[in-house]
C-alpha cells in the first residue's frame, strides 16, 4: 500500500487541499463563517437536490438498460461481438462537450427528433438522463459482464435441476455472486453523474445545474473562490459518505466464487427468448449509442472534399501553436503513460485490498481510492497549478503532469475492475501452491494471474479509454503547444465560425476511431489458447 498511498497523497490530497485552503483563506483572512451562509442559500440547496436526484435516476436507468447487455456479452456468442464491445466503450471516452453537442443536435431545436416528429427534449431532464446512459453504458457492461463471464454456469443449472425457475435461479444463485460487481458499477455511474459537468452545462441550460457546474461558475465566472471551496468540501463529504456505505455493503456480500474460463461460458443464442434479448440489446446500442456518434460523423463531412479534415493539418497561429492534428499523437502518448501509471498504482492497491488478513486501515483505503472520481475535476486541475509549482515538485513545465492527472481518474477503474475477481480467488489454491514449495511470486504468477488476467486487460482498457478522453483537469494543465484531443475539441467549439465547428466534429470523429481501434486491439489480444483475453 505504500506506493498507492504516496501517489494519492502527493497528486490528489495535496492539490485539492491547496485550492480549498486558498478559497477559505481569501485575501489572507479565514472565511469559515461563509460556510453556513453558502449552505443556507436556497439556490445552493436546489443545486444539491438536483445533483443527487439526477445522479440516482441516471444510475437506476443505466443499470436497467445495461444489465441485459452485460448478460448478452457474458453468456452469448455472436458474430461481431468483439467489434460491438469496442463500439459501446467509445462513448465513454468522448469529451462531454462533444456529447452534449451531439445530443443537442438529436433532441434540440432543429434536431433529428424535431425534424421527424416535432419532439424536443433540450433543456429537459430527459435529455440529461439519456446522455448519462450514453456515457455510462459501457461501465455496467464491462464491469458486471467481466465477472459474469467467469461465473460457473453449472451452479445456476444445478438450481434449475432442483426445481427452481429461471428467475429464481438467477435471483438466488447468480445475482448474489454478481452483487459486488453490480455495486461497483453502480458506484462508478453514480459518481460520474453526481459530478456531471459538460452534459448538464450544454443540455441543462440555465434551468439545471449540478455541484460541478456551480463550482465552475463560481470559479471562472463569478470569481468567488470561497463559495467554490465550500461546494467542493460539500461534494467531497457527500462522496466520502457514499463510498463508506458502499465499502461496508460490498464487504458484507463478499464470497468465494467458482471462476472458470470466460470462453467456455459463451454460447450461441438458443431459443426465442435469447434471440429476442440479443435483438433488443442490438437495437438499444444502435439507437442510444451509434446514432449520436453517427451525427458527429455526418457533421464532420458536411463540407465537400473532406475540407474540415484537411484544415486540421494547418496551424493557424492563434488558438493552436501547432496543427490540430498533432493532438492525436499527443493524446496517444499521454494515454499510454497514464495507463502504465494507473495499472501499476491500481494493481498494487487491488492486490493489497484483496488480502483476507488486511487490516481495517488498509480496507478503509478502498473507499478513499474512489475519491478522485467524485471530486471536482475543476478543483483538481486548479490544484495542480497551485500545489505543483515549486521545488521539490515543480512540474509545471514537465510533460508528465498531464498523464499524472489522467492516471488519478484511471487508477480507481483498475481497482474496481480487478478487486471483485481478486477477492473471488479461492485462497486454498494459493495455500496448496505454497505447500508445494512455490514462492509468493510464483504463486501469484501461476495461480492469481491466470484468473485475473482478463480483469487486468479490461482494467488497462478502461484506464486507456479514460485517459484518452479526460477533459476536466487536463484543460487547465495541457500546454498550448501540446493539447490533447478533448482540449483541442473544446477550444475549437469555443471559437465562432463554421470551419472551427467542423474541425471540432472532425477531431471528435478521429477520437472515436482511435479509441475504437485501440479497444478492438485489446479485445482481440489473446494471451493463451483458451480464448480468454
Q: What is the pLDDT of residues 303-342, one digit of tens each?
A: 888 888 888 887 654 556 677 888 888 888 999 999 999 9
Question: Please, what's the largest Cα pairwise distance for the chain?
Answer: 73
Question: What are the angstrom distances between the C-alpha of 368 and each of 115, 339, 415, 431?
Answer: 47, 20, 11, 30
Q: Select, from the ranges 103-112, 290-299, 311-320, the one with the highest average predicted confidence (pLDDT).
A: 290-299
What's the average model confidence in pLDDT over 60-76? 91
373 vs 174, residue with greater confidence: 174
Predicted local confidence at residue 474, as pLDDT: 83
Q: Rounded to whole angstroms, how far apart are CA atoms 313 and 303? A: 16
205 vs 68, residue with greater confidence: 68
CA torsion angle for 225, 229, 231, 237 (degrees, to 10)? 180
Residue 375's nearest CA partner among 502, 250, 114, 197 is 197
Q: Rounded to whole angstroms, how far apart are CA atoms 174 and 151? A: 8
Start-to-end CA distance of the chain, whole Å, equals 28
For cell 451562509, the residue is 37
**pLDDT band with cut points at 50, 70 and 90 for residue 533:** very low
Q: All 3 cell numbers of residue 291?
A: 446514432
Q: What is the pLDDT of residues 350-383, one digit of tens each?
A: 888 877 666 666 666 776 777 787 677 777 887 8
Task: Report the chain's C-alpha Rg in angstroms.
Answer: 23
Q: All 3 cell numbers of residue 245?
A: 456505505
Q: Rounded to whole angstroms, how far apart are CA atoms 274 and 383? A: 50
Share of the chain above pLDDT 90, in %: 10
Q: Look up the pTM and report it.
A: 0.75
Q: Do 288 and 134 contact (CB within 8 A), yes or no?
A: yes
**Angle formed by the axes of helices 485-493 and 449-469, nearest 10°:** 30
DSSP for 234-270 reads: HHHHHHHHHHHHHHHHHHHH-----B--GGGT-B---
Q: Rounded to whole angstroms, how far apart are CA atoms 438 and 450? A: 16
Predicted local confidence at residue 528, as pLDDT: 40
Q: All 3 cell numbers of residue 320?
A: 493552436
Predicted local confidence at residue 338, as pLDDT: 94
Residue 30: pLDDT over 60: yes
Q: All 3 cell numbers of residue 199?
A: 452534459
What's the average model confidence in pLDDT over 269-284? 87
Predicted local confidence at residue 526, as pLDDT: 40
471 three-class SS:
coil
DSSP code for 394:
E
Q: Do 100 and 196 contact (CB within 8 A), yes or no?
A: no
Q: Rounded to whole angstroms, how far apart are CA atoms 169 and 163? A: 9
CA torsion angle for 243, 132, 200, 377 (degrees, to 10)? 40
Distance of CA 475 to the CA centre of its chain: 17
Predicted local confidence at residue 132, as pLDDT: 92
Predicted local confidence at residue 524, as pLDDT: 61
Q: All 3 cell numbers of residue 140?
A: 455496467
Q: What is the pLDDT of residues 222-256, one digit of tens each?
A: 777 778 888 888 887 887 777 776 666 555 555 54
What's the average model confidence in pLDDT over 107-120? 70
Between 224-238, 251-265, 403-417, 446-460, the lowest mean confidence (pLDDT) is in: 251-265
Q: Rounded to whole angstroms, how far apart are CA atoms 484 and 318? A: 16
Q: Rounded to whole angstroms, how far apart are CA atoms 301 and 308? A: 7
What's the average model confidence in pLDDT over 472-483? 79
CA angle (282 as vertex; 277, 285 as ends), nearest 5: 125
Q: Rounded to whole angstroms, how far apart are CA atoms 498 and 502? A: 6
Q: Rounded to whole angstroms, how far apart are CA atoms 133 and 61? A: 7
DSSP code for 389:
E
Amino acid at each position: 500500500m505504500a506506493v498507492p498511498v504516496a501517489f494519492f497523497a502527493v497528486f490528489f490530497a495535496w492539490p485539492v487541499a491547496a485550492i480549498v485552503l486558498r478559497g477559505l483563506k481569501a485575501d489572507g483572512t479565514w472565511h469559515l463563517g461563509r460556510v453556513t451562509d453558502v449552505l443556507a442559500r436556497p439556490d445552493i440547496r436546489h443545486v444539491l437536490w438536483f445533483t443527487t436526484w439526477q445522479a440516482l435516476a441516471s444510475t437506476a436507468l443505466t443499470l436497467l438498460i445495461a444489465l441485459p447487455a452485460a448478460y448478452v456479452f457474458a453468456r452469448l456468442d455472436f458474430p461481431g461481438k468483439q467489434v460491438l464491445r469496442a463500439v459501446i466503450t467509445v462513448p465513454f471516452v468522448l469529451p462531454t462537450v462533444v456529447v452534449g453537442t451531439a445530443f443537442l443536435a438529436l433532441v434540440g431545436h432543429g434536431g433529428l427528433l424535431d425534424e421527424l416528429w416535432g419532439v424536443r427534449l433540450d433543456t429537459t431532464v430527459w435529455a440529461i438522463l439519456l446522455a448519462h446512459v450514453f456515457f455510462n453504458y459501457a461501465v455496467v457492461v464491462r464491469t458486471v459482464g467481466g465477472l459474469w463471464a467467469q461465473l460457473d454456469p453449472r451452479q445456476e443449472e444445478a438450481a434449475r435441476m432442483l426445481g427452481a425457475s429461471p428467475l429464481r435461479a438467477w435471483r438466488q444463485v447468480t445475482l448474489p455472486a454478481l452483487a459486488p460487481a453490480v455495486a461497483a458499477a453502480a458506484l462508478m455511474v453514480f459518481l460520474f453523474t453526481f459530478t456531471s459537468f459538460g452534459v448538464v452545462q450544454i443540455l441543462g441550460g440555465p434551468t439545471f445545474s449540478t455541484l460541478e457546474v456551480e463550482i465552475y461558475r463560481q470559479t471562472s465566472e463569478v470569481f468567488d473562490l470561497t463559495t467554490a471551496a465550500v461546494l467542493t468540501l460539500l461534494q467531497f463529504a457527500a462522496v466520502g459518505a457514499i463510498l463508506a456505505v458502499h465499502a461496508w455493503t460490498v464487504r458484507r456480500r463478499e464470497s468465494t466464487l467458482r471462476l472458470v474460463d470466460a470462453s467456455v461460458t459463451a454460447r450461441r443464442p438458443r431459443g426465442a427468448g435469447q434471440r429476442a434479448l440479443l435483438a433488443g440489446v442490438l437495437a438499444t446500442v444502435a439507437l442510444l449509442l451509434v446514432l449520436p456518434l453517427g451525427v458527429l460523423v455526418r457533421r464532420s463531412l458536411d463540407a465537400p472534399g473532406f475540407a474540415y479534415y484537411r484544415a486540421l493539418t494547418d496551424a493557424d497561429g492563434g488558438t493552436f501553436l501547432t496543427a490540430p492534428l498533432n493532438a492525436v499523437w499527443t493524446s496517444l502518448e499521454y494515454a499510454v503513460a497514464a495507463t502504465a501509471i494507473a495499472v501499476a498504482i491500481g494493481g498494487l492497491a487491488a492486490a493489497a485490498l484483496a488480502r483476507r488478513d488486511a487490516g481495517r486501515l488498509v480496507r478503509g483505503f478502498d473507499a478513499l481510492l474512489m475519491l478522485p472520481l467524485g471530486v471536482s475535476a475543476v478543483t483538481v486541475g486548479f490544484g495542480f497549478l497551485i500545489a505543483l509549482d515549486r521545488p521539490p515538485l515543480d512540474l509545471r513545465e514537465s510533460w508528465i503532469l498531464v498523464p499524472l492527472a489522467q492516471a488519478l481518474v484511471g487508477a480507481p477503474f483498475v481497482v474496481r475492475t480487478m478487486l471483485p475477481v481478486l477477492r473471488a480467488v479461492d485462497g486454498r489454491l494459493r495455500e496448496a501452491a505454497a505447500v508445494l514449495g512455490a514462492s509468493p511470486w510464483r504463486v501469484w504468477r501461476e495461480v492469481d494471474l491466470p484468473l485475473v488476467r482478463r480483469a487486468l486487460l479490461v482494467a488497462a482498457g478502461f484506464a486507456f479509454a479514460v485517459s484518452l478522453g479526460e477533459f476536466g483537469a487536463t484543460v487547465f494543465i495541457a500546454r498550448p503547444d501540446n493539447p490533447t484531443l478533448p482540449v483541442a475539441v473544446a477550444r475549437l467549439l469555443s471559437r465562432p465560425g463554421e470551419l472551427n465547428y467542423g474541425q471540432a466534429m472532425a477531431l471528435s470523429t478521429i477520437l472515436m476511431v482511435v479509441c475504437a481501434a485501440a479497444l478492438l486491439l485489446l479485445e482481440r489480444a489473446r494471451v493463451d489458447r483458451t480464448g480468454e483475453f
